[in-house]
Amino acid sequence: MGKLEGKIALITGGNSGIGLETAKQFVNEGAYVFITGRRDLEVAAAAREIGRNVTSVQGDVSKPDDLDRLFAQIKREKGKLDVVFANAGISKIAPLGKITEEHYDSLFNGNVKGLLLTVQKALPLMPDGALIILNASIVASKGSPEWSVYSATKAAVRSFARTWTMDLKDRRIRVNAVSPGFIDTPAWYATAAGEQRLHMMSESIPLGRPGTADEIARAVVFLASDDSSYITGTEVFVDGGFAQV
Measure the CA–CA gap between 37 and 102, rounded to whole angstroms. Answer: 21
CATH number for the domain whose boundaries are 8-237: 3.40.50.720
Give the model confidence (pLDDT) of 204-226 as tens digits: 999 999 999 999 999 999 999 99
Instruction: Assess contact for 48 and 56: CB atoms under 8 A.
Output: no
pTM above 0.75, yes or no: yes
Helix (H) or strand (E) holding 183: strand 183-184
Phi, psi of 186 (to 5 degrees): -60, -25
Neighbouring CB atoms inside 10 A of 207's CB total 12
Measure the CA–CA gap between 72 and 65, rounded to whole angstroms. Answer: 11
Specify whether 189 is catalytic. no
Name the residue ranges covered by the structural domains of the chain.
8-237
Determine which one of 104, 150, 189, 230 is catalytic: 150
Mean pLDDT (10-residue bins), the chain, 245 residues? 96 96 98 96 97 97 97 98 96 93 96 98 98 96 91 98 98 98 84 80 91 97 98 98 93
